[in-house]
Amino acid sequence: MTDEITLELPEIRLAARVWGPADGLPVLALHGWLDNAASFDRLAPLLPECRIVALDHAGHGLSAHRGHGTYYLLDYVADALAAAAALGWSRYALLGHSLGAAVAALCAGAYPERILRLALVEGLAPLTDDPDEAAPRLRTALDREARGPRVSERAYPTIDAAAAARTRATGLHPDAARILVERALEPVDGGWRWRTDPRLRWPSRIRLTAAQVNSFLRAITCRVALLTADRGIPFDRAVVAERCACIGDLEVTNLSGSHHLHLEEPEPVAQVLASFLVADPGDARTPLAEG
């Protein structure tokens, strides 16, 4: 069974999808950029010992859009931590995919005492910049913001048409694309339109440096599982090796699949995560206070 909840946080209203028993291992699941909580629809039911709460990040899925003009990575970190607090969780596991993996890693570095396990799928840390790139990046972002949003967004005649567009753009399997798209659309005259905030595509004003990201990773104290796909995003191997070396207790598993392997091929992912997440859960099994 899947439940839908809404979390009224101090800064924003977030929607979430929930699976599993109320006394299961608390797991906060964080999806990737331009995805939504449905990203975990096929994986979560395969982890029956876990109480998985998958957020829609701000501007995604059924969650509210930000009031200010742009979306900052560190705002997602604050949202995730605030969501866990709103759920009444003091210690919990994090499961992140892509952007969600980067957010989860920063959460675990900032508050290591709260995180029991950290499971990362096709993502390890946020993109970084050389410090000398800060000024031109800020200028590019501000110039884009000054132009404002587009007057109108394209409408698709059917949900299937929107799913086909997602497949063409990303290579996502059509069945997986439809799962994500159904939660990302809203009805309008003439068909369906993305409810996702178009400002999510605007460039970032600033990025963390490699040294800053590495400091977050070195601060992580829990066990970490990194799942990569053999047909996933071709990350720079030297950078990945540097990041991995910063983490004290890391298990890396390479699986057959693409970037969304947890959605397209969930069974092998579940086999890895089932034992990893629930091993020695300690005092993690506490009732939820969901609203």
Q: Which residues are catalytic?
A: 98
CB-based contact 3:261 (threshold 8 Å): no
Q: At what angle do helices 99-110 and 73-86 cross, to 10 degrees?
A: 70
**Burial class of residue 57 in the structure, from the number of CB atoms within 10 Å of its CB (0-12 exposed, 13-18 middle, 19+ buried):** buried
In which residue are the tokens 């900032």 written?
110
Contact 270, 47 (CB under 8 A): yes
- Is residue 49 within 8 Å of 274, Cβ to Cβ? yes
Question: Would you say how long the chain is, in residues?
Answer: 291
DSSP SS3 for 152? coil
Distance from C-alpha of 67 to C-alpha of 143, rounded to nearest angstrom: 19
Burial 116-152 (b: 16+ CB within 10 A, else e): bbbbbbbbbbbebbeeeeeeebeeebeebbeeeeeee
CA distances from 56 to 13, 133, 172, 197, 242 (A): 10, 31, 19, 12, 30
